[in-house]
Amino acid sequence: MQKHLTLEQKDARLGVKLVLPALSIILLLILYPVGYNIYLSFFDVTMTGQSTYIALENYTSVLSDPTFWKSVATTFTYVIFSTFGTTLFGLIVAMVMNKKFPLRWLVRSIILLPYVAPVISVVFAWQFFFDPVNGIFMHFMVDVLGIYDQRFNLIGSPSYAIWVAIIFSIWKSFPFTYLMLLSRLQTIDKNLYEAAEIDGCGPVRKFFSITLPELYFVMGSIVLLRFIWNFNKFEDIYLLTDNVKVLSIYTYFKAFTGNMDLGQGSALVVIQFGLLIGLILLYVKKVLKW
Amino acid sequence: MVIHKNIFKSIGFFLLVMFIVLFSLFPFLQMLSTSLKHSWDWGNPSLIPAQVNTSAYKELLNIGQDEKDLPESVRILLEETPDLTEAQKESIIAKFKDSGDIFPFMKYFRNSLAFATTAAFISLIIAIFGAYSISRMKYRGQKLIQRGVLFVYMVGGILLLIPLYKISVAIGLAGTEQGTVVSLLIIYMVQTLPVSLYMLGNTFRSIPFSIEEAAFVEGYTRIQTIWKIIIPLSLGALATVFVYSFMIAWNEYLFASVFLKSFKDLFTLPIALKALFVSKNAIWDRIMAASMLTAIPVVILFMLVQKYLAGNMSSGGVKE
């Protein structure tokens, strides 16, 4: 018995050893920085010299800045519409790809491309598409359809740019949503549909009474993940346009350009993270009913 | 009546599929088309170039550029001095080319390749042992680690950027080229490690334990079973995780832009492209050609592991 136990203990020790490199990297570079960040947010941080403790001053100056509140509003608009749009479009695509049609295998791999391609390499194509001089979008809107009188820089204007960013985000992330939903769709029991058909249910009724309830929890988790990712989104927006100042971008500018205020930047990050956790908890309780 | 309804339905369905395909593919077609157009053709809404122009690709890939960029006097010097060795010739050419206005695409390409390959490889090795440990072995805290890994989903890049930058400045890593390379590699590893652990953990759990047990009876140690049984049985998943990590590092912009700011020689493709776009106007063909060349390696790699990756994504093991 004694020997058996030591063997198990030995094994456990080896297990810890094997996971230690991975674990220590994660703890050291994710957990510690999060803590350090909270610490920094109470200081006036300079890159070279000493940092001085200034209590809540970073927070008060951030919260009293109207640009901050504007970027909170922008963030919410972006997150809500892009999450909703991605989920809806992903659902439509998943339902289409669940039906058999010729060349489906090819279509299925083509539509993963937006998700795979580097952001940096696709943003320029989008910018070109909306370019006032050369872009096809303005060509159609002005020359073909006559919706606008003259060509203008759509991505350059803040009120339009956010919608371009939202459509871009839907384009970039719908493949992920579609894949997750498709794999769940494929596991739905076919008998349910047959039974519904015998009861005289049409396709609409079948969708709302069978498909949607079956997808509820997968969709709930996808929406949660998408919400988290879009809330923290930086590259997809920053590289596409200079005019959509969501929180991440606002923080980036505050901390890494001009006089590089890392203290206020840290405070912004803490606020953003706190907001995110609060919203997640609310969502998990209300929607996922955990 | 029924037949008519079916025809309309099929046409509608067909149009829907077409729309989805076009929506997904259009930006790529746009990219390819513009990269092959002459500047006088850019405003033409047709995607087919009026006249195919490959000069942007040639310039980026440095095909047939050697002679063109050299000043006349240097070219004569090279041709009329037969006792120069090849190495000397090359160094002369390199010297004059660097002072030219060309965008050193190949250099940035190599930087990106080096960063992405190294980060993906180290991350894979660490993840193999970590994932084996959390999926196959029992000890206190094992479940906690397994779930805690998912916590990382919530921590976006921007949340880590400030503290990590401050730390690497404080310990002196951000001041030197080597230090910057090391910090960036570690950061890329951290971003890919949680997903790698999760994906590999799922794969390892699906390998029947009886195979391993048989190996133990034969006298294999844990480490030996990992090398001789677990790794050979999950090559597909390993390739997938490698490609996945590679893609994350290859595409990364945020950290690279802050850490590499003052090291132009270390620029990766994303920051170099962004800088190129900001610095010069009206070079759409070069921008698009560079975009194509940046996307192609990732797309090819993805196609190779697509089957595994799609499966893994739908089982939840994926991060952006």
pLDDT at A280 over 50: yes
Q: State residue B100's pLDDT score.
A: 44
Rounded to an integer, the average pLDDT of A16-39 is: 84
Distance CA B243, CA A260 (A): 35
Window B:4-63, CB contacts with A under 8 Å: 13-14, 16-17, 20-21, 23-28, 30-31, 34, 42-43, 45
Looking at chain B, which residue has its C-alpha nearest residue A138? B45
Say yes or no to pLDDT of B66 above 60: no
Amino acid (one-letter) located at B44: N
* Bigger pLDDT: B92 vs B203: B203
Quote the pLDDT of residue A89: 95
Q: Chain A closest CA to B20's CA: distance in Å?
A: 7
Count of positions (residues) in chain B: 320
Q: Answer for the pair A262, A47: CB distance below 8 angstroms, yes or no.
A: yes
B310 has pLDDT over 70: no
Residue B226 is given by DSSP the state I
Q: How far apart are CA B186 and CA B119, in angstroms?
A: 7
A48-52, B26-30, B94-98, B229-233, range with the lowest pLDDT: B94-98
Reply yes or no on domain B105-314 having CATH 3.40.30.10.
no
Tens digit of each residue's pLDDT (9 = 90 or more) over B282-294: 578 888 888 899 9
Confidence of residue B72 (pLDDT cuts 50, 70, 90): low
Asked if the Cβ–Cβ distance from B162 to A111 is below 8 Å, we say no
Domain spans of chain A?
68-260+268-286
CB contacts of A233 in chain B (<8 Å) are 156
Chain A residues closer than 8 Å to B277 by CB: 124
Please list, in sequence order, all residues whose beta carbon lies within 8 angstroms of the beta carbon of residue B65, skipping any fewer than 6 positions away. B58, B59, B97, B102
* Mean per-residue pLDDT, A45-57: 73
Q: At what angle do helices B142-151 and A2-26 cross, to 10 degrees?
A: 10
Give burial (CB, 10 Å; 0-12/13-18/19+) of B23: middle
Distance CA A155, CA A168 (A): 12
Residues B195, B199, B202, B207: is their CA dihedral positive or negative? Answer: negative
Which two tokens mark B257?
């832009």
DSSP state for residue B227 in the 8-state scheme: I
Q: In degrees rounded to 5, what are phi and psi of residue B64? A: 65, 25
Phi, psi angles (nearest 5°) of residue B50: -60, -35
Instruction: With beta carbons less than 8 A apart as the criterion, state whether B212 and B229 touch.
Output: yes
Q: What is the ipTM of this complex?
A: 0.85
Q: Is the pLDDT of residue B281 over 60?
A: no
Residue B43: its chain A contacts at CB < 8 A?
A: 133-134
Q: Whole-angstrom Cα distance, residue A5 to residue B216?
A: 17
C-alpha–C-alpha distance, residues B58 and B178, integer Å? 32
User: Residue B265 pLDDT > 60, yes or no?
Assistant: yes
Q: What whole-number distance in Å separates Cα of residue A170 and Cα of residue A163?
A: 11
Q: Which of 153-172 (B) contact A at CB < 8 A?
A: 153-167, 169
Helix/strand/coil (H/E/C) assignment for every residue in A195-220: HHHHCCCCHHHHHHHHHHHHHHHHHH
Residue B60 has pLDDT above 90, yes or no: no
Round to whole Å and give the CA distance between A62 and B116.
Answer: 37
| A68-260+268-286 has CATH 2.40.50.140 classification | no
Beta bridge partners, A53, equal: A43
Segment B57-64 shows an average pLDDT of 76
**Highest mean pLDDT range out of A17-21, B20-24, B76-80?**
B20-24
Tokens of B94: 């390199």
Top-confidence residue, A149 or A88: A88
Neighbours of B297 (CB within 10 A): 18
Output the pLDDT for position B99: 43
What count of other Cβ atoms lies within 10 Å of the Cβ of residue A100? Answer: 6
Residue reference for tokens 């390199």: B94
Cβ <8 Å between A40 and B299: no
Confidence grade of residue A150 (pLDDT, cut at 50, 70, 90)? confident
pLDDT value, residue B120: 92
- The predicted pLDDT at position B312 comes to 58
Phi (first) and psi of residue A287, to 5 degrees? -95, -50
Determine the 3-state secondary structure of A150 from DSSP. coil
Model confidence pLDDT, tens digit, residues A226-277:
998 899 889 899 988 888 889 999 988 888 887 778 888 889 989 998 898 8
| Cβ–Cβ below 8 Å for A272 and B158 | yes
| Chain A residue with the nearest C-alpha to that of B188 | A29
> Tell me, what's the pLDDT at A1?
45
Q: What is the pLDDT of residues A70-80, one digit of tens each?
A: 999 999 999 99
Q: Is B92 exposed, middle or buried (0-12, 13-18, 19+ CB in 10 A)?
A: middle
> Across chain A, what does the average pLDDT equal?
85
The predicted model gives A127-135 an average pLDDT of 83
The percent of residues in chain B predicted with pLDDT above 90, rounded, is 13
pLDDT band at A47; cut points 50, 70, 90: low
pTM of the predicted structure, to 2 decimals: 0.84
* Distance between A159 CA and the closest CA of chain B, angstroms: 22
**DSSP string of chain A?**
-HHHHHHHHHHHHHHHHHHHHHHHHHIIIIIHHHHHHHHHTTEE--SSS--EE-TTHHHHHHHT-HHHHHHHHHHHHHHHHHHHHHHHHHHHHHHHHTS--TTHHHHHHHTTHHHHS-HHHHHHHHHHHT-TTT-HHHIIIIIIS--SSS---TTTSHHHHHHHHHHHHHHHHHHHHHHHHHHHHTTS-HHHHHHHHHTT--HHHHIIIIIHHHHHHHHHHHHHHHHHHHHS--HHHHTT-SS---HHHHHHHHHHSTT--HHHHHHHHHHHHHHHHHHHHHHHHHTS--
Predicted confidence (pLDDT) at residue A132 exceeds the cutoff of 50: yes
- A window 206-245, beta carbon within 8 A of B: 221, 225, 228-229, 231-235, 238-239
For A180-207, the pLDDT digits (tens) are 888 888 888 888 888 888 888 888 888 8
Residue B137 has pLDDT above 70, yes or no: yes
Average pLDDT over chain B, rounded to an integer? 80
Question: Percentage of chain B surpassing pLDDT 70?
Answer: 81
Q: Where are the domains of chain B?
A: 2-41+48-60, 66-98, 105-314
- Give the C-alpha separation, A103 to A126, whole Å: 27
- State how far the Cα of A120 lies from the Cα of A237, in Å rounded to an integer: 11
Across the interface, do A14 and B303 touch by the CB < 8 Å criterion?
no
Cα–chain center distance at A97: 23
In which residue are the tokens 């006032």 written?
Answer: A132
